[in-house]
Structure 1
């Protein structure tokens, strides 16, 4: 599975690279010292007696100018953003929305005092995944329309906030589930003394607080701009990097990378390695559970690691040299996060059916205390 997904990423990046081959000879322009991540560069259209706005234009969005030889043009008009990305979104929605909606409805009637901590965490994950997948509907139309946003500024802000906020929220919730399993396996006596329901509810509240911190800037500042050379209105993909208030978000968005990706990823790595090691040292046969758990962990790494690395690398290149060519690759990598959101219910069900684990995702039955392992 990991090899298949890795090959998929390689093919998409190769297609994106071909689109940029004609742009390597572009002239160097003056580089601004003020930039923000996750977007292409754009400049506010300055009107004076030497230039004129096109006569026919009904858009009420502010104007931005981009160089037609820059990567933004290849991305906006290329097959990656107008066919591959929306097709991936459709696949994720068709599979993920029904499965996560079913999980939400099913778990809601399975709430019991004994299984409350597990239910709360899985409900939180299903809700986050469902909101992420629902936010893709308008973006599918946006990409199939040549990256032209027709739904207005308010909806652009809302969809952008839901999209990025729930990507972070899903990763954080998965990290919380991994940490819970780590405590149950590696620190069973400490885990038994905890007020697990209160801790699970409090953890989810912290996750949603971080979700709010991530989405507030997207809701407050303009996200849609009309791109004059391309004749389209983009949503979040092209922003005026040298204009206020976007320039004020540099440090804030950089800081979000740590609680949104780096910290959850490190927690998942440490928790998985520790759990596998301690189960391997026990006297019970946990090989089946370890294999399935490792598969789930590898899928998590494959889905979230590329977007996290490309996000950080894109930010560094944009800040240091003004080079925004990695943004197209980042958008492709984010598709893997969406695929993980549609796979979560099936992965949880898979790990629950491992004979050696006694983890019951459907019935949410706890593992016997004598083994020191719980879901």
Structure 2
């Protein structure tokens, strides 16, 4: 049974729809624009990540920690691709959710777990690259290949656990809300203030999301990649530096263009709503489109992060797997310099598995 009197994040003790939110619900052009963006993202997401998943699982060996993290990232991206059609239908129906409160909670969790698991996974990939390139001997000697895979799998589970624990309030609350004046039932477009017991609880919830799931991982990722770039700039060949720069550019693009606006606006909008009765809802809603674009950009991360993924993709597309960046001559020089440059951590043990013909030279 719907409740028409739940207080929401308006800063008041009774429900009152602010002008920014009302404009969003009544703006047909905005709904169509956002829906079209979601349609494009859905197609690119499912095609790109479907191909990436197939290559990562069935065509890329060995399964290094970075490959495991990429598989985890692809799973979250494909989940968003599967959920977006429901969001598109919801918006084209005038923000009237007809699938019930349980489905609304599931769709909301899919959106936010994707964003934050993507952020944490990118951080993990950055840490693996940092350990493999900045601390290669210590990383290779102290942790065996089998242990690295186990650590990667456990890390993925811990990421999901952390994200779901922070987002727990969204799991135990009915996120639908009926608006009598518009005769629509919204889904996560109006948050009930009673979702959390106090303003302090709201502040803790928002701070945890923004700091632990965005700001801290962003700082760690930036630190790792800056150190990698500085190391490669001094020691590596031109092809390695180019790929590293391309990878870092894509990662930072995803953080600054896809994740930062949404997290900053979410925090600012919630603080303004809770304490000042102001709203940034239109800007926040548009920033959700940007956050979904990360699922289209992630395959580019795989392309620049893993040489074997790059070679398999070229072969699949009937392109020569030998290029100026991946020729046998360059590969030989890279391996003779340091085997861990291949596919992130690529310690010498993994290099032997990838190229069995070298076993006789051991």
Aligned ranges for residues 66-105 of structure 1 at < 5 Å?
A: 66-67=16-17, 70-79=19-28, 81-105=30-54
Helix, strand or coil at the partner of 2:308: coil
Offset of 1:247 from its aligned partner?
4.7
Aligned ranges for residues 1-150 of structure 1 at < 5 Å?
A: 65-67=15-17, 70-79=19-28, 81-110=30-59, 112=61, 114-150=62-98
**2:336, 2:171 → 1: CA distance?**
46
**1:263, 1:232 → 2: CA distance?**
38
1:240 aligns with 2:192: yes
1:175 to 111, 123, 129: 123
1:198 aligns with 2:146: no
**2:191, 2:138 → 1: CA distance?**
49
Offset of 1:121 from its aligned partner?
0.9
User: Where does the alignment leave 5 or more consecutive residues of structure 2 unmatched?
Assistant: 1-6, 313-325, 345-362
2:231 to 271, 274, 278: 278
Structure with more of its chain in helix, by fraction: 2
2:229, 2:241 within 8 Å by CA — same for their partners in 1? no
1:304, 1:337 within 8 Å by CA — same for their partners in 2? yes
| Closer, same or farther: CA 369–217 of 1 in aligned 2, 3 Å | farther
Say what the alpha-carbon RMSD is for the aligned residues: 2.7
1:342 to 296, 305, 326: 296
1:217 to 163, 169, 172: 169
Offset of 1:347 from its aligned partner?
3.7
Helix, strand or coil at the partner of 1:239: coil
Q: After the TM superposition, which of the residue ranges 283-292 and 121-130 deviates more from structure 2? A: 283-292
1:373 aligns with 2:325: no
**2:46, 2:205 → 1: CA distance?**
31
Question: For residue 218 of structure 2, what is the aligned residue in structure 1?
Answer: 265
Offset of 1:223 from its aligned partner?
0.6
1:221, 1:246 within 8 Å by CA — same for their partners in 2? no
Superposition misfits of 4+ residues, deviation over 3 angstroms: 40-44, 243-249, 362-367
Offset of 1:274 from its aligned partner?
1.0
Query: TM-score under structure 1 normalisation?
Result: 0.74
2:244, 2:304 within 8 Å by CA — same for their partners in 1? no
Question: For residue 58 of structure 1, what is the aligned residue in structure 2?
Answer: none
Aligned length: 309
| Closer, same or farther: CA 82–115 of 1 in aligned 2, 3 Å | same
Question: For residue 31 of structure 1, what is the aligned residue in structure 2?
Answer: none
Helix, strand or coil at the partner of 1:238: coil
1:128, 1:170 within 8 Å by CA — same for their partners in 2? yes
Offset of 1:107 from its aligned partner?
2.0
2:247, 2:301 within 8 Å by CA — same for their partners in 1? no
Cα shift readout 1:268-297 (whole Å, capped 9, x = no counterpart) = 211121111111121532442244124313
Offset of 1:80 from its aligned partner?
6.1
Helix, strand or coil at the partner of 2:191: strand
Offset of 1:116 from its aligned partner?
3.0
| Closer, same or farther: CA 283–210 of 1 in aligned 2, 3 Å | closer
User: Where does the alignment leave 5 or more consecutive residues of structure 1 unmatched?
Assistant: 1-33, 45-64, 353-358
**1:186, 1:271 → 2: CA distance?**
9
